[in-house]
Structure 1
Amino acid sequence: METAPKRACASGSSAPGRVERFRLRLRYGLLHLVLSFLPSRQAMQSVVLSKRGIDLWRSMPAVDLDISEFLSITRRSSQYCCKDVWGKMENFSTNLLMRHRAPRLDAFRLRIGSIMIDWSRNSFFFSIATEYCPMELEIRLNRLDWSVLYQLPKLVSCHLKRFVLSGVSLEHSFAEHLHSGCPALEDLVLWGCDTEFCGLQSETLKNLVIRSCTSRVADILVIRAPSPASLRLDLLYNTHKNGVLLDTEKFLVKASISLASDQLSQRGEAILLGSLFSVTSLELGGFNAMAILDKEFDKSPAFDNLRTLALNWCFHSKRDVNKFKALGRLLQKSPNLEKLTLQTFW
């Protein structure tokens, strides 16, 4: 008669323990998530305020190194001392990563801002980025001098899904490494980079952004991706002057293309526009009327999926006397268009 109550008592005493452990895991999981959005220095300063969470920084899922966190330390002639600031950031990063226990990182972010560094002697951060195989890798180096670019070393990661690069030089082999070494890549952002490759290919790429990049080698850029969702191209003057060709198998949901004035040849603009025939939402900037009236554009399929079209600063030149004829031709090729926006058209 006394056995059953004792078992019930034992069972009841263990339930609160399991609930408490669950609450602790949930709380630490939420703290990890919140800390992943902070620069690593701020994250460490935050967790040391709590005795229970003092070791949380050792297993943070993201390492975010921002040079601005160290800029308030030294000034010299109204300019930050690059050597001192960089040295403090490097010492902090070394201590952080030596004590870090996470087997793999969700994200590794490095932002250098306008600090000018001799990158040939500072490849420490890039070797760490490769060693931890993060799912998100972001490297931003502001370009004060467009003749100074850091040559990105070979980065290969089977876990990498999001890749953001700014202010680096990408040689022709970058595209090959990306295709063979990053089989899970979904998002690629290139901003202010110097590119030497003439094509990009990825079987898994969903979102591609190329903004303000220069290219002294490739006259034409070929992008091959079976099922991309979005594409944004902001091309500088005299970059890929013979055009950009998009090769896809499925429908492209959204595309935004902006060209510098007279950047591409008439045929190059026609080829680029024709390769976007599967898009649903399209925003164009800087296109010429004669490109749409070119025979090359007549060869492209109709834009049967296009529902939204925005033209910004298109057909704006005084030489585009056939702007209304070009607009009519474009609308004829877009039988299912629902919304048209014209900006700076007159």
Structure 2
Amino acid sequence: MSADDAAHLFDGMSKDLSSTPVRGADRISSLPDHLLHHVLSFLPAQAAVQTCVLARRWRHLWRSTTGLRIVGLDGPEPVEYLRVFVDHLLMLRERTDLDTVEIKLGTFSEDDHPYIKLWTRFALMCKVRALTVHIYDPYLYLDDLPLVSRNLRTLDLEGVGLNDYFLDFSSCPALELLKMNLCDISVDKISSRTLKHLSITNCRADLGSKVHLSTPGLVYLKLDNFSSTTPILVNMASLEAAFVYLGEDCIDVCGVLCGTNTIACENCVPNSSLLLGGISSAKHLELMSEFGKLIFKRGLKHCPTFSKLKTLVLNEYWCEAPDMDPLLCILKNSPVLEKLTLLLFSKGPNHMVEMKGSYSSVERLPETSEHLNMFEVKCNVVDGRILKVMKFLCAFNIRFSF
């Protein structure tokens, strides 16, 4: 809908409304413009433009919204239907700064790529602070141009192909939060001195590639089900909390890590230890893995000291060895640990069985933190696998209650 079309539609409606008795005050229209601009920013762009027919005061409010939400339609080639509308929208709106821009699209064709990239660049030109680009089918590979913005604070990407140029954040001095889900990350390094929150979920990289994460100001890290060799974590001295899950698609066999086919290859150990070493300064850790993954086990051979770690959440992976060596190793290297939670064969968040434990005497797990006195075991059913872990813990006078 163009501005002229909206004006004609408004004129026709206003004549009809003029003869209708007013039954109540329009309290929304009495709000100041800057509040109405903010309210309209929560609507999809199509709905925000259509508000121009509500009353004379609303005719041009959509042109200065603080947010822009470009949402694709259902059905085949939805982006094609958006092209003309969005192009006119971008030409007619005021050149005011944008707080948020959301681009969420379904199926699109190769011909749609230039339009989506243009809309993304427009958002950056309008000094957007929070940019969301979600693509559902297929992958959208963004420009081979660096990301340049002195205002961007939050970047949320899904279904996007990324390269070294776009993930070069040296020209984004305000960026603090980066989320990537279902993305194709074809980069050697992700580096940012200002990033505080980083979430990489269900993403993939080229087979055999090693993504280095260098984020000295990072406070929170989520690395969930990365489909390739696990990223190498360096320079994370400010980290306070991390969630790491090595899923079924994690490729960490020797042939990929170091180019050999020797299962017990020692060359892999230094790279493996960088995962645990990178998160060793955290106060809160959740470390999960599927059975058979090697990264954590090899990292334990050169296990770092978790000098600040207070709460630790582990799954059954750490208890699979008959002597519980992986579990004991990480506990021995956590000198100030206060609470241990074991999620055993249960994904949660709702567990059928929850047991809490504490020491019943002065005898403790060997060489563990003197502060460790809170234990939790969560599972769905108490079977032989759970009893094995409970028996091990009870041998050190840890008593549990439901």
Q: Shared topology, TM-score over 0.5? A: yes
* Corresponding residue of 1:194: 184
**Counterpart residue type for residue 229 of structure 2:** H
Query: Distance in 2 between the 1:293 and 1:86 partners?
Result: 47
Q: TM-score, normalised by structure 1?
A: 0.76
Structure 2 matches for 1:108-127, cutoff 5 A? 108-122=101-115, 123-127=117-121
**Counterpart residue type for residue 59 of structure 2:** I
Query: Distance in 1 between the 2:176 and 2:200 partners?
Result: 14
Query: Distance in 2 between the 1:275 and 1:200 partners?
Result: 14
* Corresponding residue of 1:75: none
Q: Is residue 248 from structure 1 mapped to residue 242 from structure 2 by the alignment?
A: no
Two-structure CA RMSD over aligned residues (Å): 2.8
Give the gaps of 5 or more residues in structure 2.
1-27, 254-267, 346-384, 386-402
Deviation at 1:137, TM superposition (A): 1.5
Query: Distance in 1 between the 2:337 and 2:324 partners?
Result: 17
Deviation at 1:186, TM superposition (A): 0.8
Q: Deviations over 1:218-271 (max 9, x none)?
A: 63222112221211112334x125x52231232x12211111246325735543
Deviation at 1:298, TM superposition (A): 5.2
Q: TM-score, normalised by structure 2?
A: 0.67
Deviation at 1:125, TM superposition (A): 1.7
Q: Is residue 329 from structure 1 mapped to residue 329 from structure 2 by the alignment?
A: yes
CA 1:214/1:323 → structure 2, altered by over 3 Å: closer, same or farther? farther
Give the gaps of 5 or more residues in structure 1.
1-22, 72-79
| 1:30 maps to which of 35, 46, 63 | 35
Query: Distance in 1 between the 2:29 and 2:136 partners?
Result: 41
Q: Is residue 257 from structure 1 mapped to residue 244 from structure 2 by the alignment?
A: yes
Query: Distance in 1 between the 2:296 and 2:159 partners?
Result: 34
* Corresponding residue of 1:107: 100
Deviation at 1:188, TM superposition (A): 1.0
Deviates more, 1:296-305 or 1:223-232: 296-305
Q: Deviations over 1:42-79 (max 9, x none)?
A: 222345323323321111011110003xx3xxxxxxxx
Query: Distance in 2 between the 1:285 and 1:59 partners?
Result: 46
* Corresponding residue of 1:81: 76
Decide whether the 8 Å contact of 2:113 with 2:140 is kept in 1. Answer: no
Q: Is residue 142 from structure 1 mapped to residue 143 from structure 2 by the alignment?
A: no
Query: Distance in 2 between the 1:271 and 1:140 partners?
Result: 31
* Corresponding residue of 1:166: 158
Query: Distance in 1 between the 2:38 and 2:295 partners?
Result: 49
| 1:206 maps to which of 196, 212, 237 | 196
1:41 aligns to what SS in structure 2? helix
Percent identity between the two aligned chains: 29
CA 1:121/1:172 → structure 2, altered by over 3 Å: closer, same or farther? closer
Query: Distance in 1 between the 2:81 and 2:322 partners?
Result: 60
Deviation at 1:342, TM superposition (A): 1.4
CA 1:130/1:29 → structure 2, altered by over 3 Å: closer, same or farther? closer
* Corresponding residue of 1:232: 222
**Counterpart residue type for residue 43 of structure 1:** A
Query: Distance in 2 between the 1:206 and 1:307 partners?
Result: 20
